[in-house]
Amino acid sequence: MVRMAYVRVSFKDQNEGRQVLKMKDLGVEERFIFIDKASGRNFDRPNYKVLKNFIREGDLIYFDSLDRLGRNYDGIIEEWKDITRNLKADIVVLDNEELFDSRKFRNMGDLGKMLEDQFLSLLAYAAEQERKKIKQRQAEGIALAKSQGKALGRPQKNYSNLTNEKKFFIEKNYNRWRAGDIKSIEFMKLLELKKNTFYKVIREYEKLYRLNSKDSKEHL
């Protein structure tokens, strides 16, 4: 049995570091972590195809969340069943492990198949709808900005407009960074922040929680 992992981000300028770190913490060897920077609307992704060719009966494949597998309803269900029933490998989805660990369903026989199909259909539908909402919000935002004559571009990043996931990551690892267990260059890479923005975000975080600031550059 080989432990494998699939990591996907939607855009080339997004950083896959946090997903990769999570897979390594689970004991997945780096050579068995397959990474794509591509949309989830279909499965024509180079390293996903490589992963499928590597899979053998009894292997275990980790996904951080179901939408990392894909955001296409029919495709998610088809790929899940191909991996678990045709290739006879198992899948664990980390952010919903209680529901999406195919080993549990496999041990339940036909009843497990029925329950797995129901849960999978529900979550696959949610993943596809979220993709559609994202596209709609992007299009509406661009149209509004153009109508108001605003320059299009990314908003300036600060702590308050970081995602909840990144805020949690800072809170969880801030003390490790202060202690020197995580270098600044590694921390900013995992947060997908450039150097100046990273220090700005950290200062805002320290001010918000009334932490004692120090010269963080010493960790570089």
Give me the mean pLDDT over the 17-41 stretch.
Answer: 92
pTM of the model: 0.58
Of 10, 39, 65, 216, the catalytic one is 10
pLDDT score at 208: 83
Percentage with pLDDT > 90 across the chain: 29
What one-character-per-residue DSSP string does 57-99 give?
TT-EEEESSHHHH-S-HHHHHHHHHIIIIIS--EEEEGGGTTT
- Per-residue confidence at 219, pLDDT binned at 50, 70, 90? very low
Task: Look over the chain and give the mean of its residue pLDDT values, rounded to a whole number.
Answer: 81
Residue 157 pLDDT more than 80?
no
H-helix or E-strand spanning residue 188 = helix 184-190
CA–CA separation, 154 and 193 (whole Å) = 13
pLDDT score at 66: 83
In 26-179, where does DSSP find H-type helix? 46-54, 66-69, 73-81, 102-106, 109-147, 164-178
Q: Burial letters for 15-32: b for 16+ Cβ neighbours within 10 Å, e otherwise?
A: ebebbbebbeeeebeeeb
Residue 218 pLDDT more than 50?
no
pLDDT score at 144: 61
Catalytic residue flag (residue 39): no
Read off the pLDDT of residues 36-59 as tens digits, 9 standing for 90 and up.
999 888 899 999 999 999 999 999
- Among 71, 86, 28, 130, residue whose Cα is nearest residue 102: 86
- Per-residue confidence at 220, pLDDT binned at 50, 70, 90? very low
Residue 58 zone, left/alpha/beta (φ > 0; ψ -120 to 50; rest): left
Q: Looking at per-residue confidence, does 125 or 216 come out higher? A: 125
